[in-house]
Amino acid sequence: MSAPLKTPTAAAMAVRTAVILLIFVLIFTSLLAGAYFWTKPAIEAAAAVEKMKLIGEVLPREVYDHSESELLNNTVTLPPSPALGNEDSSIAYRATRAGRVSALVFEAIAPDGYSGKIRLLLAVAADGSLLGVRVTQHKETPGLGDYIEPRKDKNKERPWITQFDRLSLATVSDAQWRVKKDGGRFDSLAGATVTPRAVVKCVHKALKYVAEHRAALFDVTTEAVK
């Protein structure tokens, strides 16, 4: 007990509190940054695995003769286009066999679902036929319009979405790209026709887009569609 304790001034108190707060901010921000960089590789790897799982559902393994990571790296940029429904540019993955592009995997968005957008993933072979279609995201009514998702479809042997397999513009005429109720060839469940109508229209438009930009899409050297 040598010197009596001085009561700190208000300014000194404020500075002291501010410095302590600053130290806490620095510590916890660096903790966040550390956690972000430490987990980044693992999270990216997991995301790639998931993306590959989704692509694997539409793209049969025998279509390409290279590794899956090569597939994810061989891409072509698609600019925003009303035919695909993408508002920002998206990318298509190019599968090759014996040096030639054998198939394309890309996303198309149906803007006119029953409640909002329906996002689809399509795989199209070099001859213009569909290898597979899957719904990746939608907000359709549960139990009514959600049969476009095979997991929710009651028909497990032949889910609704598999109707598109192997179809192409050459084998199905323009007038046939409609649900049966509208005079086309695609099934739909009673009470939920808006959803399949949007999906059929979207797939049809996407195929037309591929036919139109065939040269650029299936040439290994192009990096973006103009």
Partner 1 sequence: MMHKEEFCQIRDNGVWHQNTSLVQILGLCPLLAVTANLVNGVMLSLATIVVMAIANVAVASLRNWIPHEIRIPVFILIVAALVTVVDLSFNAMFHDLYLVLGIFIPLIVTNCIVLARVEAFANKNPPLQSLFDGVFMGVGMLWTLALLGGLRELIGAGTLFSGIEMVIPGLQPLKLFSADYPGFLLAILPPGAFILLGCLIAWKNWIEARSAAAQHVRSSPTAA
Write out the residues near partner 1 by the rule CB under 8 A.
Answer: 16-17, 20-21, 24-25, 28-29, 31-32, 35-36, 38-39, 42-43, 46
Residue (38 or 62) nearer to partner 1, CB: 38
Residue (4 or 38) nearer to partner 1, CB: 38
Minimum CB–partner distance for residue 29 and partner 1 (Å): 8
Minimum CB–partner distance for residue 214 and partner 1 (Å): 37
Which residues, in sequence order, are CB contacts of 111 under 8 Å at separation 6+?
Answer: 85, 117, 198
Residue (13 or 170) nearer to partner 1, CB: 13
* Whole-angstrom distance, CA of residue 198 vs CA of residue 201: 5
- Residue whose entry in the numeric block shows the structure tokens 């993306």: 51
Minimum CB–partner distance for residue 216 and partner 1 (Å): 36
Residue (46 or 170) nearer to partner 1, CB: 46
Minimum CB–partner distance for residue 105 and partner 1 (Å): 22
Sheet holding 130-137, edge to edge: 75-78, 90-97, 100-113, 116-125, 130-137
For residue 112, give the nearest of 197, 174, 20 by alpha carbon: 197
Three-class SS of residue 219? coil
Residue (40 or 180) nearer to partner 1, CB: 40
* Whole-angstrom distance, CA of residue 26 vs CA of residue 43: 25
Minimum CB–partner distance for residue 167 and partner 1 (Å): 31
